[in-house]
A and B are shown apart, each in its own frame.
Chain A
Amino acid sequence: MAHTETHDPNTPLEYRSEIGRLNILGFWIFLGAEIALFATLFATYMVLTHRIADGPALGELFEVKSLLIQTFLLLTSSFTCGLAVHEMRRQNVKGLITWMAITLGLGLGFLYFEIQEFLHFIHEGANIGTSAAWSGFFVLVGTHGAHVTFGIFWVTMVLIQVAKRGLTPATSAKVFITSLYWHFLDVVWIFIFTAVYLMGMVMHHG
């Protein structure tokens, strides 16, 4: 609304328009809803985790190597995403796009290994219809993977806009919001790492 606002020079660009501030707040609240969504999926998974019917136990098929590669890729991508926003704050469009592109590359790598892992499980005889436990696994981890996939498309669209329009209050708010989204997925992964993989392997191998 008020476009002729005066600002402390230290106010980041994305907070300089009212629309930007409202959108960022709204997105934080949306993340609250996302927490409720993932919490429900985690609860479902935990309730069902031992209900394996005739299928393999979850921990039986988990592999440390693939898990660590995925974790390393995604955690690093959160760091590079942070660097991208840091470059944005320095008004460095090139740095922003470079670091975001690296973030996307790491995200794609994560997805590649996740899909490989899923295919491996399916090959070993564990798919979404094998048992309640595997249904819970595929839908929880798959929902996270779908979020990462959506994020890759979304960040790409926003980067195209930054390249075309430069850094404005509008585009910078979009970048900032996608970065919040990306970090959130990282946080969810830490919970998946712990609650699904670590606990699954510890339970199985003792």
Chain B
Amino acid sequence: MKWDEFFVTGDPLIYGADVSIVLTMVGILFYLTKFKKWKWLWDEWLTTVDHKKLGIMYIVSAVLMMFRGGVDALLMRAQLAVPEANFLDSQHYNEIFTTHGTIMIIFMAMPFLIGLINVVVPLQIGARDVAYPYLNAVSFWTFFIGAMLFNISFVIGGSPSAGWTSYMPLASNELSPGPGQNYYLLGLQIAGIGTLLTGINFLVTILKMRAPGMTLFRMPMFTWSSLVTMVIIIFAFPILTVALVLMTFDRLFGSHFFTLQGEGMDMLWANLFWLWGHPEVYIVILPAFGMFSEIISTFSKKTLFGYKAMIWSMLLIAGYSFLVWVHHFFTMGSGAVVNSVFSITTMAIGIPTGVKIFNWLFTMYRGRIEFTTPMLWSLGFIVNFVVGGVTGVMLAMAAADYQYHNTYFLVSHFHYVLIAGTVFACFAGLIFWYPKMFGYKLNERIGKWVFWIFTIGFNVCFMPQYFLGLDGMPRRVYTYSEESGWGPLNMVSTIGGFMMGIAFVILVYNIYYSFRFAKRETTGDAWNGRTLEWSTPSPMPPFYNFAKIPEVTGLDHFWKQKQAGKVEKLKAEDIKKIHMPSNSGVPFIMASFFFVAGFGMVFDWMWMGIAGMIGVFGTLIYRSFEYDDGYYVSVEEVIETEKISK
């Protein structure tokens, strides 16, 4: 392989990216060295097993990926703004919509939600950490390394260009030659390991680590939604693992699962992909539902309406999520009976979702509503998500779907559910729990500007796309003719897209502004909250979370204590020594070996792939022989940290 094949060349945009990557790397290295931060970075972050720090790292990574995926989106919108534009060529456009989709789902939405779950769920259930803190670090680092492997594709070797769904035979060696598609396969595979481990970790955490008195039906709704999400992950992700392995074998080892030769079956890939892919949709929406439930209840000053109905509807959604995958390819030609069955199951999912919408509305009914920014995002969610849901039911009708299939109508539909659902929730949750993570709120006034600019921009961007779709504009085209008449609406859509971009920039500015100027919280209860995470005396919980594990007597325990004026004060005699897990650098090193292995496989350099895997197994063996029972935090240290006066 020659150097000009190894590095992507010839495009000024890519050269610009090369320069900015190198400058950023140099800047970071310079900063770390000049201010002697290397040890701090290693001790506090790279080796940490603290769920709160891992959660923050997940969220930071997700925001970075949102930037990357957002830039992709704006490039696409710029190209489509006018007919027959020459800003991007077709190959470049294909690469950009592929990386946009993959990054936004796998490396933005999921880690953002998993990050918030990491920070919040152990606190909500009154636990000192997750069930497997070490494994949690492995989860984060495999996700991070998978994301990095996928992201370097656009400067080294070339990006995948077969769409985030990577249908065969388009993704085969014949039609997608080069390493691009391999980046997709290996990047997702490595990140998927982390996701599966997160699923097991948090399922056991929620089942086994709850504070005394917190029965399953006394758990906060966000914890419930996380529990259901983890179950979906555990059964859905192995399907993706297998599908990716099979396509990797097709591309690297000449097997014939999805190929046109050897009687392979291209649509088998589509089936396996969506057997994982549809549950995946619910993996990224259920935690969002959970967050909105917490926020709406908190800012309506009322217990969540229909608590049990919420839970049962989530369980129903989880079950249904495995029974609807064929609706992604009604046009495959499975026949009227199969299509009808999947059409009905798809519409049926609308019922439990509708139940949830009404529960949120009734929670607000006669509540004392406070219009904080997290609440604004939640209200915006209800309105916009319903638009996405209704068009989803339209798409669910198999006969009608022949008209909508692969048009901008579909594109608009899934952006209405994924942005108004997941992204709004990520923003709402980030703002809501920000004081828990950093000890101060994000500025509310700037936050409201962000909300309005983003929400209006979102509708300006995607509402026209419904009409473009109905007018026949197919998705994934890099340009269109003047005569099609799609020009004006596309221009409107592009304007909306850039409004969302501006809102994102203001959001990032708000993070900086609030870091500098926000009033620091003095108590742990920034929003007059209802659940246990707000009950820690200090604004940010200490690394052991709770000096004394609370006893829970009912739903919204902390709120009821406050109402009754019976919030317990910590007493020195209640403090016992606390057992905590030790930090470990092994997860980071293991993930680095995964990177070596993945990179080798991407370029079909088997020696490098094997060397990397030997490294991975080496770290596994090292860990197996390491007997580290953690350590105890002494009573004195706890008293010191909690500032209890004797």
Which of B235, B241, B268 is A48 in contact with, Cβ under 8 Å? Answer: B268
Task: Report Cα–Cα, A139/B268, bound state, in Å.
Answer: 15
Chain B residues contacting A48 (CB-CB under 8 Å) are: 257, 263-265, 268
Chain B residues contacting A30 (CB-CB under 8 Å) are: 200
Instruction: Indicate if A1 sits at the interface (CB-CB under 8 A).
Output: yes
The reply to whether B208 and A25 form a contact with Cβ atoms under 8 Å apart is yes
Instruction: Indicate if B237 sits at the interface (CB-CB under 8 A).
Output: yes
Instruction: Indicate if A131 sits at the interface (CB-CB under 8 A).
Output: yes
Interface size on B, residues (CB 8 A): 44
Residue of B nearest to A140 (CB): B242
CB proximity to B under 8 Å, residues A133-184: 133, 135-136, 138-139, 153, 157-158, 161, 165, 170, 174
A33-41, A63-71, A111-119: which lies at the B interface? A33-41
The reply to whether A44 and B200 form a contact with Cβ atoms under 8 Å apart is no
Shortest Cβ gap from A32 to chain B (Å): 6
Which of B201, B254, B257, B617 is A136 in contact with, Cβ under 8 Å? Answer: B257
The reply to whether A33 and B204 form a contact with Cβ atoms under 8 Å apart is no
Q: Provide the A14-33 mask, 1 if CB < 8 A to any CB of B, else 0.
A: 00000001110110011011
Task: Report Cα–Cα, A3/B272, bound state, in Å.
Answer: 45
Instruction: Indicate if B571 sits at the interface (CB-CB under 8 A).
Output: no
The reply to whether B246 and A161 form a contact with Cβ atoms under 8 Å apart is no
The reply to whether A129 and B254 form a contact with Cβ atoms under 8 Å apart is yes
Chain A residues contacting B3 (CB-CB under 8 Å) are: none
Shortest Cβ gap from A49 to chain B (Å): 11
Instruction: Indicate if A122 sits at the interface (CB-CB under 8 A).
Output: no
A-B contact count (CB 8 A): 117
The reply to whether A40 and B257 form a contact with Cβ atoms under 8 Å apart is no
The reply to whether A128 and B249 form a contact with Cβ atoms under 8 Å apart is yes
Shortest Cβ gap from A118 to chain B (Å): 14
**Contact (A29, B203) CB under 8 Å given A34-B238, A36-B238, A51-B264:** yes
Residue of A nearest to B242 (CB): A40
Instruction: Indicate if B132 sits at the interface (CB-CB under 8 A).
Output: yes
Q: Provide the B605-646 mask, 1 if CB < 8 A to any CB of A, else 0.
A: 000000000000100010011010000000000000000000
Chain A residues contacting B207 (CB-CB under 8 Å) are: 25
Instruction: Indicate if A53 sits at the interface (CB-CB under 8 A).
Output: yes
The reply to whether A132 and B246 form a contact with Cβ atoms under 8 Å apart is no
**Contact (A26, B262) CB under 8 Å given A36-B238, A157-B621, A170-B627:** no
Instruction: Indicate if B227 sits at the interface (CB-CB under 8 A).
Output: no
The reply to whether B204 and A22 form a contact with Cβ atoms under 8 Å apart is yes
Task: Report Cα–Cα, A61/B9, bound state, in Å.
Answer: 50
The reply to whether B262 and A135 form a contact with Cβ atoms under 8 Å apart is yes
Q: Provide the B257-300 mask, 1 if CB < 8 A to any CB of A, else 0.
A: 10101111100100010010000000000000000000000000
Residue of B nearest to A142 (CB): B249
The reply to whether A33 and B237 form a contact with Cβ atoms under 8 Å apart is yes
Instruction: Indicate if A52 sits at the interface (CB-CB under 8 A).
Output: yes
The reply to whether B239 and A131 form a contact with Cβ atoms under 8 Å apart is no
Q: Provide the B237-252 mask, 1 if CB < 8 A to any CB of A, else 0.
A: 1110111011001100
Task: Report Cα–Cα, A53/B259, bound state, in Å.
Answer: 12
The reply to whether A33 and B257 form a contact with Cβ atoms under 8 Å apart is no
Chain B residues contacting A130 (CB-CB under 8 Å) are: 256, 262
The reply to whether B246 and A44 form a contact with Cβ atoms under 8 Å apart is yes
Residue of B nearest to A47 (CB): B268
Instruction: Indicate if B579 sits at the interface (CB-CB under 8 A).
Output: yes
Task: Report Cα–Cα, A188/B200, bound state, in Å.
Answer: 21
Shortest Cβ gap from B175 to chain A (Å): 18
Task: Report Cα–Cα, A33/B240, bound state, in Å.
Answer: 12
The reply to whether B256 and A129 form a contact with Cβ atoms under 8 Å apart is yes
Instruction: Indicate if B382 sits at the interface (CB-CB under 8 A).
Output: no
Instruction: Indicate if B517 sits at the interface (CB-CB under 8 A).
Output: no
The reply to whether A135 and B255 form a contact with Cβ atoms under 8 Å apart is yes
The reply to whether A128 and B625 form a contact with Cβ atoms under 8 Å apart is no
The reply to whether B208 and A51 form a contact with Cβ atoms under 8 Å apart is no
The reply to whether B200 and A132 form a contact with Cβ atoms under 8 Å apart is no
Chain A residues contacting B324 (CB-CB under 8 Å) are: none
Task: Report Cα–Cα, A188/B512, bound state, in Å.
Answer: 54
Which of B242, B243, B253, B617 is A128 in contact with, Cβ under 8 Å? Answer: B253
Chain B residues contacting A129 (CB-CB under 8 Å) are: 253-256, 262
The reply to whether A139 and B208 form a contact with Cβ atoms under 8 Å apart is no
Chain A residues contacting B88 (CB-CB under 8 Å) are: none
Task: Report Cα–Cα, A53/B257, bound state, in Å.
Answer: 12
Shortest Cβ gap from A132 to chain B (Å): 5
Task: Report Cα–Cα, A125/B81, bound state, in Å.
Answer: 56
Interface size on A, residues (CB 8 A): 40
The reply to whether B625 and A132 form a contact with Cβ atoms under 8 Å apart is no
The reply to whether B242 and A132 form a contact with Cβ atoms under 8 Å apart is no
Chain B residues contacting A2 (CB-CB under 8 Å) are: 579
Instruction: Indicate if B196 sits at the interface (CB-CB under 8 A).
Output: yes
Residue of A nearest to B233 (CB): A33
Residue of A nearest to B261 (CB): A53
The reply to whether A128 and B255 form a contact with Cβ atoms under 8 Å apart is yes
**Contact (A131, B256) CB under 8 Å given A33-B238, A36-B238, A36-B239:** yes
**Contact (A128, B254) CB under 8 Å given A29-B204, A47-B265:** yes
Task: Report Cα–Cα, A32/B138, bound state, in Å.
Answer: 20
Instruction: Indicate if B148 sits at the interface (CB-CB under 8 A).
Output: no
Task: Report Cα–Cα, A157/B132, bound state, in Å.
Answer: 21
The reply to whether A53 and B208 form a contact with Cβ atoms under 8 Å apart is no
Instruction: Indicate if B398 sits at the interface (CB-CB under 8 A).
Output: no
Shortest Cβ gap from A125 to chain B (Å): 13
The reply to whether B234 and A36 form a contact with Cβ atoms under 8 Å apart is yes
Chain A residues contacting B239 (CB-CB under 8 Å) are: 36-37, 40
The reply to whether A139 and B246 form a contact with Cβ atoms under 8 Å apart is yes
Which of B131, B208, B253, B272 is A40 in contact with, Cβ under 8 Å? Answer: B272
Residue of B nearest to A36 (CB): B238
Which of A37, A44, A138, A153 is B268 in contact with, Cβ under 8 Å? Answer: A44
Chain B residues contacting A158 (CB-CB under 8 Å) are: 624
Shortest Cβ gap from B546 to chain A (Å): 12
Shortest Cβ gap from A130 to chain B (Å): 7
Shortest Cβ gap from A71 to chain B (Å): 24
Chain A residues contacting B243 (CB-CB under 8 Å) are: 40
The reply to whether B256 and A37 form a contact with Cβ atoms under 8 Å apart is no
Shortest Cβ gap from B117 to chain A (Å): 17
Task: Report Cα–Cα, A132/B262, bound state, in Å.
Answer: 6
Task: Report Cα–Cα, A200/B453, bound state, in Å.
Answer: 62
Residue of B nearest to A54 (CB): B262
Chain A residues contacting B579 (CB-CB under 8 Å) are: 1-3
CB proximity to A under 8 Å, residues B409-435: none
**Contact (A157, B254) CB under 8 Å given A26-B204, A135-B264:** no
The reply to whether A135 and B256 form a contact with Cβ atoms under 8 Å apart is yes
Most buried by A among B132, B203, B204, B255: B255
Which of A22, A51, A153, A161 is B625 in contact with, Cβ under 8 Å? Answer: A161
The reply to whether B242 and A37 form a contact with Cβ atoms under 8 Å apart is yes
Task: Report Cα–Cα, A138/B354, bound state, in Å.
Answer: 46
The reply to whether B249 and A26 form a contact with Cβ atoms under 8 Å apart is no
Q: Would you list 21 pairs from A and B whose C-beta atoms are within 8 A, ordered by A residue?
A: A21-B208, A22-B131, A22-B208, A25-B207, A26-B131, A29-B203, A32-B235, A33-B235, A36-B235, A36-B239, A44-B257, A48-B265, A51-B262, A129-B255, A131-B256, A131-B262, A132-B257, A132-B262, A135-B264, A157-B621, A158-B624
Across the A-B interface, the 4 shortest Cβ-Cβ residue pairs: A51-B263, A37-B238, A135-B255, A129-B254
Footprint of A on B, CB under 8 Å? 128, 131-132, 196, 199-201, 203-204, 207-208, 234-239, 241-243, 245-246, 249-250, 253-257, 259, 261-265, 268, 272, 275, 579, 617, 621, 624-625, 627
Question: 9 additional contacts, CB 8 Å, given A21-B208, A51-B265, A53-B262?
Answer: A3-B579, A22-B208, A29-B234, A36-B239, A44-B268, A47-B265, A128-B249, A133-B263, A158-B624
